[in-house]
Structure 1
Amino acid sequence: MRVVLQRVKQASVTIDDQVVGAIKRGYLLLVAVRDADTEADIDYLVHKITNLRVFEDAQGKMNLALAAVAGEILSVSQFTLYADTRKGNRPSFTDAGHPEKAAQYYARFNEKLRANGIKVATGEFGADMAVALINDGPVTILFDTENK
């Protein structure tokens, strides 16, 4: 699995001019699944993301995790994180997971984040979405379970 995490002041996702998910302070997660991913990959990412300390403490150091700042998550599926651009000018997406598995793992990932007491808003798997955000920092971190 690949996840791009962006620390945000706020973020939202819109489908057909309707806001379907919105958060205030927290993380925007762009999430991609491949067929070789396992439940252990989901658990690894949930642990890393919920415990990641990138919010500032009283001394201005990135030392606080999401729960310490009552942060929220906006999770958006994005298979294009597995784009292969090595050949030609049109990316190949053959490394991205088949939609059935990817949808199941994306939903399971979000369920496990919620089980940690985090408010999780989402986009809609497979939909054409407009994502808006106000980056905070900016802080952007890439997770890839192939490189644990």
Structure 2
Amino acid sequence: MTGSPADCNKWSLVTDGLSCTDLATQAGISLAQFLAWNPAVSSDCSTNYWLGEAYCVGVAGGSTPTTKPTTTAKPTSTKPTPPRPTMSGSPANCNKWSLVTNGLTYTALASQAGITLKQFLAWNPAVSSDCVTNYWLGEAYCVGVSA
């Protein structure tokens, strides 16, 4: 998601039924911290809070709450966490992510990952076939899946 802090060092993926308040609680941060670190998300989490997207839940040197959450955290998945925000529609079995850096074309990203452009587009369905739509600097894209 745009606007996330450059020093974000912890990301959390939205799963089905997980509210932004629950996501913040699971990460051990306040809702205010979550919203500060994810400024594109509206204060009521009705805008720009999407299933399958990764959101910043920790920053280097950032403050952490002094008390632990009182709710029980839901189990987390063991799949790799994307290093940055992702587009919706990435496969659930994605196990390798690549980050778009300045000047990195979609063909170069696929080539660096050792995959075909066809695989890249299949694993990242939000990206248009010409990569003009939804191919963004700073976003993480799926470049590997488990069997």
TM-score, structure 2 normalization: 0.22
Greater relative CO (CA pairs within 8 A, separation 6+): 1
TM-score, structure 1 normalization: 0.22
More strand by proportion, 1 or 2? Answer: 1
More helix by proportion, 1 or 2? Answer: 1
